[in-house]
Amino acid sequence: MPPRKRLVIVGHGMVAHRFVQSAIDRGLTQTHDIVVVGEERRAAYDRVGLTTFFEVGADALSLLPTGEYDDPRVRLLLGAEVTAIDRDARTVTFPEGELDYDELVLATGSVPFVPPIPGRELDNVFVYRTIEDLEAIREAARAGARVGAVIGGGLLGLEAANALAQLGLETHVVEMAPRLMAVQVDDVGGTTLTRHVERLGLRVHTGAMTQAVLSEEGRVTGLALQDADDVPADLVVFSAGIRPRDALARAAGLEVAERGGVLVDEQCRTSDPHVWAIGECAAPAGVMYGLVAPGYTMADVVVETIGGGERSFTGADMSTKLKLMGVDVASFGDAFATTEGALELVYSDAVTGVYKKLVITDDGQRLLGGILVGDASAYGVLRPMVASGAPLPENPEELILPASRGGSSAGASSLPDEAQICSCNDVSKGDILSHLAREEEPCDSAACVTRCTAAGSTCGSCKPVVKRLVEDYFASTGREVDRSLCEHFAMTRQELYDVVAVHGHTAFEQVLQAHGRGRGCDVCKPAVASILASQLNHHVLDEAHRTLQDTNDAYLANIQKNGTYSVMPRIAGGEVTPEKLIVLGEVARDFGLYTKITGGQRVDLLGARLEQLPAIWRRLVDAGFESGHAYGKSLRTVKSCVGSTWCRYGVQDSTSLAIMLEERYRGLRSPHKIKAGVSGCARECAEARGKDFGVIATEKGWNLYVGGNGGATPAHAQLLAQDLDTATLVRYIDRYLMYYVRTADRLQRTSTWVESLDGGLDRVREVVVDDALGLGTELEAAMERHVDTYFDEWAATLEDPDKLARFVSFVNAPDVPDPHVSFGSTRGQAEPAMPDGPVQLGATIPVGGPR
């Protein structure tokens, strides 16, 4: 076996991370030990998603949350700076020592370019590149900055402006070119974009040359512009482009390109055959690429080449698609129609702010490029059309007309197999089709394709096309995706919900007779029971419904592993009086119940025998408690912090709002459980963004987040609407929850439901905020009905001898507890003892009475 070699990578950004992943995947670590030397203290993170940092935090951006690679042959050194390269000795130098290498890969990235203008060294002057930059900007905003100015109206500049606006700053964008995003869009596109951005409250100054950062007594006061009025600002962000970090390479005598960047060949090899450069520090054929996708390709090329393969980097698709402050912008191919004889096909709607331009060949046969502003949904189909040279359809204008005017999102099926669908991860249409058609475990959904091929996993812009390809494929193979609930109902839950509503069914028997077959099962019965309860809000234990209820609903309590139940009364918003807390303690003590505080700010009492539940609840109801619906697929809790009432940081009364919301939505039967939270300030102590809906107080009102989840697949709730007054907030939540109740699948939490909707969060916003379906009033009325008809299930059960009759151990021996249930103790409280087999009541086994 040849001796193992060492490969050193300088830098640990997105491209270096891709390199390591690629090296592991392609087996390079079988011959090479890899040492990654990162200068930042943080492991690689998603710099493309930096703009979401304030929303999701640093952890969510990390590409390597564990801080190490699974492969033991990869070592990651963070916070370590390489100061020199000795190419003759093949070593790199740190302040602490040296490291030998056989192959050296430079992935040092770039630095923001700060033009040499007076005042650039002042406090409160920032760049926008790292998490630390964003943290510093946020600190400055907290310290009192009110007005921010971003120098640079390109892609990154607008992202920086978005960040400032998110922090609540009045935001100016100052761009030297006559329009925003001058590299990507033309004049009309730029004007359209400016209109969108200004509608969001930003001020745009184009054709404006910054001459100086103004200051008084060392404090930033604004920008001086050439031939224009000063722009007042107490915080300035430079975003005027980037420069490759090639100093290390220069010092080592490697060749660099005229405009900067380490000069490399098509294999990304520098002028030293054992030194390579990838990403933004590299300049293949003298050109630097400031996008992540070409960097990824360079990483793959070097891995292949060192591994003995043949692959070259011969330029990159500089197509861009992004969503900035809710505005879609895309630019691809020959966007400026520089090809000889190129024709332009333009669709522009100034009212809705949509501008689309296709650049086509003079014979009208092929697409060369285009620009999309305001609606870039066609990007996923158009970009691969350019790259593959697929023939244009007969009426190419249909590709950019809105659907209501004859356009369609189709076109994916006409692409050739070699068309690249995902440019971030270089996945072709053929790759996707092969995963759908393979013999062993073929992909059965778009999500599966994304998992298996990585298509759509980086920027996500090709997801609609992936979905389309999957659907087209299934349609072409005649495969029907079985969406039946179970063998008794050949419909989805949503279809069943509609059928029940339209026909006005009030009982499972009617639904089964009219739309099902057989006698039902443990899947369809609870599903129909939930649908009926959502629409009618009757008692779930009424005779027509009780046999349909799932385990926990059947006894209005949560079954535990030994067949006993837990009892959890509602403690709305987590607020409880000492008197009521004492009652909980007394009940727990008197019935010998194990007591634990829950994550939803309630008290759980565990170990109640079936036959004890009525007596326990009699005491609780008498003390003013009501059902907490911990057993139901329904609203659980609205967690809250103490808010502005007590907290010195609180800006709104989160506790009162939480109690109001919990009492509004309590008892609403839904496809799955619903958890919520309300935080009184941006510190987010109620962890509202881990909930199905979360509300966070702002100075001006409430921000509403939806689709969050804790548990096995954590998801941060996403911002649906901001600075709402309480009435609007409630209206939106009413609509959101009812839309969920109506359209989600059985046992689908809101996070996966939002994801599954065509259009995702945007779709939710259309329905809930924009009321695009005109459903708003109807959804609100449905919720109002629920609120008006709410009653406490446990109080009602205690009043009904017929319902109570079920709460017995044995129908023929109601006084004898089930001998199978027994308890041990741990830390002074009860715990279940689990016998190995059925326990028979008899002389040898002592039987205790009810504890």
Would you say 142 or 517 has its CB closer to other proteins? 517
The answer to the question of residue 522 lying near other proteins (CB under 8 A) is yes
In sequence order, which residues have a C-beta less than 8 Å from that of residue 646 and are 6 or more positions away?
none
Among 483, 519, 589, 596, binds other proteins (CB under 8 A): 519
Site for other proteins in 569-628 (CB under 8 A): 610
Report the distance separating Cα 607 and Cα 605, nearest Å. Answer: 7
User: What does the DSSP assignment read for 587-610?
Assistant: HHHHHT-EEEE-TTS-EEEEEE-G
Question: Residue 195 carries which DSSP code?
Answer: H
State which residue, 564 or 743, has the beta carbon closest to other proteins: 564
Q: How far is the CB of 617 from other proteins (least distance, A)?
A: 18
State the nearest-atom distance from the C-beta of 826 to other proteins, in Å. 19
249 binds other proteins (CB under 8 A): no
The reply to whether 833 sits near other proteins by the rule CB under 8 A is: no
In the bound state with other proteins, the residue whose beta carbon lies nearer, of 835 and 850, is 835
- Contact assessment for residue 62 and residue 43, using Cβ atoms and an 8 Å cutoff: yes
Interface region with other proteins, contact rule CB under 8 A, candidates 273-281, 545-553, 595-603, 730-738: 545-553
**Binding residue (CB under 8 A) for other proteins from 82, 125, 459, 821:** 821
- Which of 159, 234, 431, 550 contacts other proteins by CB under 8 A? 550
Q: Using CB under 8 A, which of 203, 546, 619, 785 touches other proteins?
A: 546
CA distance 425 to 466: 13
521 is an interface residue for other proteins by CB under 8 A = yes
Burial class (CB in 10 A: 0-12, 13-18, 19+), 123: exposed
What DSSP element (H or E) covers 674?
strand 674-679
- Helix H or strand E encompassing 357: strand 354-360
Q: Of these, 559, 642, 747, 804, which contacts other proteins (CB under 8 A)?
A: 559
Binding mask 287-306 for other proteins (x = CB under 8 A): --------------------
Choose, by CB under 8 A, the member of 341, 774, 801, 842 that binds other proteins: 842
- For position 804 contacting other proteins by CB under 8 A, the verdict is no
CB nearer other proteins, residue 16 or residue 524: 524
Select 314 or 844, whichever has its Cβ closest to other proteins.
844
Q: Is 55 helix (H, G, I), strand (E, B) or coil?
A: helix
SS3 content of the chain, % helix, strand, coil (to 5): 35, 20, 45
115 touches other proteins (CB under 8 A): no
The span from the CA of 766 to the CA of 409, in Å, is: 19
Helix axes 654-665, 776-788, angle to 10 degrees: 90
| Radius of gyration, CA atoms only, the chain | 31
User: CA 786, 792, 798: angle at the middle one, nearest 5?
Assistant: 145
Member of 41, 561, 648, 827 binding other proteins (CB under 8 A): 561
Question: For residues 333-352, which are near other proteins according to CB under 8 A?
Answer: none
Instruction: Report the C-alpha dihedral over residues 187, 193, 197, 199, rounded to 10 degrees.
Output: 100
Q: Which of 284, 285, 307 is nearest to 295 (CA)?
A: 284
Give the Cα separation of 683 and 413 in Å (integer). 48
| Distance separating alpha carbons of residues 148 and 141, to the nearest angstrom | 9
Q: Is 834 in the site for other proteins (CB under 8 A)?
A: yes
For helices 726-743 and 654-665, the axis angle rounded to 10 degrees is 40
Which tokens hold the place of 75? Answer: 């070592």
Instruction: Decide: is 525 part of the binding site for other proteins (CB under 8 A).
Output: yes
Q: Which stretch binds other proteins (CB under 8 A): 262-270, 477-485, 687-695, 810-818?
A: 810-818
CA atoms within 13 A on the CB side of 729: 25
Using rule CB under 8 A, residue 22 touches other proteins: no
Binding part of the chain for other proteins, among 270-278, 343-351, 443-451, 828-836 by CB under 8 A, reads 828-836
Q: Which of 563, 599, 624, 759 binds other proteins (CB under 8 A)?
A: 563
551 binds other proteins (CB under 8 A): yes
Please work out the total of residues on this chain that contact other proteins, with binding judged by CB under 8 A. Answer: 43
Interface map 489-518 toward other proteins (x if CB under 8 A): -----------------------------x
**Would you count residue 840 as binding other proteins (CB under 8 A)?**
yes
Task: Compare residues 89 and 813 and give the one whose CB is closer to other proteins.
Answer: 813
Nearer to other proteins, 523 or 647 (CB): 523
Tokens of 246: 């090639």
Q: Which residues bind other proteins (CB under 8 A)?
A: 487-488, 518-522, 524-526, 543, 546-551, 554-555, 559, 561-563, 610, 809-813, 816, 818-821, 834-842
